[in-house]
């Protein structure tokens, strides 16, 4: 499995590739640059990291797949700006600012990047991204599969 990250530049194609390569040069043997997606003057270059890199943590989608990491309302009644995260794993989990949580009483996104320690219960700050619903679709949340294309 490879992790994907992005490198953004608003420059000409050749200088964007050069700048992106300069930034990742120290990790050159562990990273490959994908084909850019282009929209007007914006180019988005996906960066692929080999899973063999030991980050010391899992990303949210990897953690949720284990079924030992849950995101739920803080109580039966819930509270819009907060969700409870339970990490039963023996690894830390990184939630990145903007990660989406679908389900529970309302869809939300993480307000900040936060590293959830192993075997920890933490209440995290979130923002609502779904107006009008305040009822359970599921008892927990799952990570949204956010996919977008630039054309």
Q: Tens of pLDDT along 31-71? A: 777 888 888 888 887 877 765 556 688 989 889 889 899 99
Helix (H) or strand (E) holding 136: none
What does the mean pLDDT of the chain come to?
Answer: 74
The answer to whether 92 and 116 have CB atoms below 8 angstroms apart is yes
pLDDT of residue 37: 87
Give the CATH number of domain 57-143; options: 1.10.3470, 2.120.10, 2.60.40, 3.10.150.
2.60.40
Query: How buried is 126 (Cβ within 10 angstroms: 0-12 exposed, 13-18 middle, 19+ buried)?
Result: buried
Mean pLDDT over residues 120-140, rounded? Answer: 79
Residues 58, 64: Cα–Cα separation, whole Å: 10
- Of 103 and 133, more confident: 103
**Edge-to-edge strand ranges of the sheet holding 69-72:** 69-72, 82-87, 120-128, 108-110, 100-103, 141-143
For 78-96, write each residue's pLDDT tens digit: 888 999 999 999 999 999 8
> Mean pLDDT across the stretch 16-23?
52
Q: How far are the Cα atoms of 1, 17, 123 from residue 65, in angstroms, in the given order?
A: 13, 34, 20
Q: What is the DSSP string of 33-52?
A: E-PPEEETTEEEEEEEEETT
Threshold 0.85, pTM exceeds: no
pLDDT reading at 2 higher than 60: no
* Residue 112 Cα distances to 29, 76, 100, 115, angstroms: 31, 24, 12, 10
């Amino acid at each position: 499995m490879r992790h994907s990250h992005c490198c953004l530049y608003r420059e000409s194609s050749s200088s964007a590739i050069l700048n992106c390569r300069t930034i990742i040069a120290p990790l050159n043997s562990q990273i490959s640059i994908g084909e850019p997606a282009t929209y007007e003057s914006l180019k988005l270059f996906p960066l692929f990291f080999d899973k063999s890199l030991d980050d010391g943590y899992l990303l949210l989608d990897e953690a949720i797949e284990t079924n030992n990491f849950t995101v739920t309302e803080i109580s039966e009644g819930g509270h819009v700006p907060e969700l409870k995260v339970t990490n039963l794993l023996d690894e830390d989990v990184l939630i990145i600012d903007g990660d989406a949580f679908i389900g529970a009483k309302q869809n939300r996104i993480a307000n900040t990047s936060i590293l959830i320690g192993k075997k920890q219960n933490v209440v995290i700050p979130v923002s609502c991204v779904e107006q009008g619903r305040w009822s359970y679709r599921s008892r927990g949340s799952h990570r949204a599969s956010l996919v977008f294309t630039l054309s």
